[in-house]
Structure formats: structure tokens, C-alpha cells
Amino acid sequence: MVSRVLLAIVVALLCSPNLAGAQVEVGDPFPEWTLVDQGRNTIASTSYNGRKYLIWICPNAMSPSCTAEGRSFRDHLKALQIAEVEVFGVTFDEPETNAFFASAEGIGYPLLSDAERSFAVAVGAAESPQQSTIAPISFLVGADGRVAKIYENLEPVRHAQDVLLGLGVLVP
């Protein structure tokens, strides 16, 4: 009897959707967020209502892929601003680590700390707060607050260029 009940519980858990880790899809409203940047400033998505933004997530600021992606957005920041797209990076690091990384790499946009991984879980980039690594992913959020595009399986070195091309901006 106990084994049947246990089996039923296991089957129910395996078959039920993981709502906490369900990735947002194109067209969905992007979850509201409030995170702290590398200067310990609190930044909230509600401050960007009516504006487009791209938010890229990488677990560790100084990993090779995160460094390449951060540089890609740094190098194309002006073009993205001309296209009226704000840029935010999100890492699992503390603000002090993000500050060191931003200074070392000349990053001129907010690097947000998601050390507790609540943001990553809310957007489906991580399945749980215990997850320490994820594949790089980013979300282009439209002025209407909905997901306009999701970038997965991306090439960090070319990521900003791919975003610009998707916006119809020619990149040299």
C-alpha cells in the first residue's frame, strides 16, 4: 500500500509542470524584477515601462563566455542605444564582483546581481535557486513589456551583433 502511494506521488511530481522554472515565451509579459547593480543601485523593471530593453543572463561575470558577451554589448552599446534598446547584464555574482568585472572590462551598462537566482528562476533560465550554472540566455523585451525575442544557444562574441541585425540595424 505504501509503495503504491509513494509511486503515485513520484508520478504526480514528474508529470506536473514546474511553474517556478517555466521559461517565459515570446509574447508573454516579462516578469517584473528588482535587482541591485554593480554600484549597489536598485534597478526595477517598472522604471523601464514603455522602453525596450535587452537583459542577458550569465552565471559568472568573469567566465570566458560571460566576458565575451559583456564585451560584445560594450562594443555595440552605442548602436543599441541609437536603436533605443537599454542593456542589462545579470550574473549570479555579488555586486562587488560585478563592479570589479565592469571596471576591468569597461562595461558602461548595469550589471545586475541575482546571487539568490530568483530572477533566473522567474524567467526559466534556472530550475531552482540551487542551480549554479546555466547556459547563456537573453530576452529582448518590447516597449509593451512583452518578450519580443529570446536568444538561446547564442554565440557570446556575436550576441550584440545578432540582436542589432534582428532589429534591422546594419552592423559593420
pLDDT for residue 172: 66
Q: Where are the domains of the chain?
A: 21-166
- The per-residue pLDDT of the chain, averaged, comes to 86
> 86 pLDDT exceeds 90?
yes
Locate 76 and state its grid cell: 555595440
> 129 pLDDT exceeds 80?
yes
Cell numbers 530576452 correspond to what residue?
A: 139
The pLDDT confidence band at residue 11, using thresholds 50, 70 and 90, is very low
DSSP letters spanning 75-93:
HTHHHHHHTTEEEEEEESS
Determine what percent of the chain is predicted with pLDDT higher than 70: 87
| Residue bearing the bigger pLDDT, 37 or 126 | 37
In 3D, which of 144, 158, 141, 129 has the Cα closest to residue 24? 141
Q: What pTM was estimated for this model as a whole?
A: 0.83
On whether the 21-166 domain is CATH 2.60.120.260, my answer is no
